Amino acid sequence: MATTASRRRSVPKRILSYTGELWKRREFAIYLGFGSFSAKNATTALGLVWWVLNPLLLGGVYFLIFGLIFGNRTSDFLVYLMAGMFVFQFSAQALSGGAHSIIQNAKLLENIRFPRLILPISKIVESAIGFVASLGVLVIIALVAGESVLNGPLWILLIAFPMQVMFNVGLAAFGARLAVPFRDITNVIPYFTRIWLYLSPIIWTLDRLEGMGDTVLFFVELNPMYHLLALYRAGLLGYPLDWANAGQFAVSMAIVFLLGVGMFVRYEKFIVRDL
């Protein structure tokens, strides 16, 4: 019993120690993130533009199909759509990047000792660069479309962005944890993110939920992206702010972060063995 009690007391110390190690190597994580971003874009003529161009082209296809051909919608839907696409891309890239982060850096893991969580975190740094750039593109799209953007209380973004970063760290750690013993997970993730995209209010608007009943609404609101998009659209587009969305996403963020990071850290000592 004494041994169990002492182990329980040592858990906070281990967490503080591990967090301290991460903080000491924060520049290493930033360097990896920027280095990976630069290397990935060095071989293409457009470089950074591709991070923005991929969701932009996909959003353009959805706007053509669901906005013009079937939806008979105007430019306000384009801004609504692209705001959702860029926010979603940030989290989707975190999950995908985290799943590849360990395998892509196998040699680094074998030769240097450091907290392995730095590798998924570096992918958050990489995807955050593209996300910030995409917000500038969103402003341009809105100006060309004649729609207002940055029309809401911008301080909401100071809440939404850090919360999404924490959420993304959990996603990246979860992807990294699964990808080493189950390599095929990297092939499954694109299908998962595509389904996640369709289930989120990005290519469909909230008026589609009217009259669908409480059961449908309950399951729709289980999706963390539903609440995160509501926060961003309140800050970027001036949509009504419902603090319930912030609270519900905070709960989802905490669950995903603790689960993803906890699973990864517990498995960390076996990573090199399983590579």
Asked if residue 114 belongs to a domain, the reply is yes
pTM: 0.87
Contact between 202 and 84 (Cβ < 8 Å): yes
| pLDDT mean over 7-20 | 72
Degrees to nearest 5, angle at CA 164 with 162 and 166: 70
Give domain status of residue 44, yes or no.
yes
Angle between helices 224-237 and 243-267 (to 10 degrees): 130
In a domain, 16, yes or no: no
Residue 144: which domain range?
A: 23-274
Percent of the chain with pLDDT over 70: 85
For residue 7, tell me if it sits in a domain: no
Split at pLDDT 50, 70, 90, the class of 11 is low
pLDDT of the residue at 257: 95
106: helix, coil or strand? helix
CA distances 210 to 54, 207, 215, 216, 217, Å, are 31, 6, 12, 10, 9
Residue 219: inside a domain, yes or no? Answer: yes
Is 220 part of any domain?
A: yes
Q: Which residue matches tokens 């919608």?
A: 73
pLDDT at residue 26, as a whole number: 81
Residue with tokens 């958050």: 124
The predicted structure's pLDDT at residue 50: 66
pLDDT band at 88 (very low <50, low <70, confident <90, very high): very high
**169 — pLDDT class (breaks 50, 70, 90):** very high
Answer whether residue 6 is part of any domain: no
Does the residue 191 lie in any domain?
A: yes
Q: What is the mean pLDDT of residues 119-131?
A: 88
Q: How many domains does the chain have?
A: 1
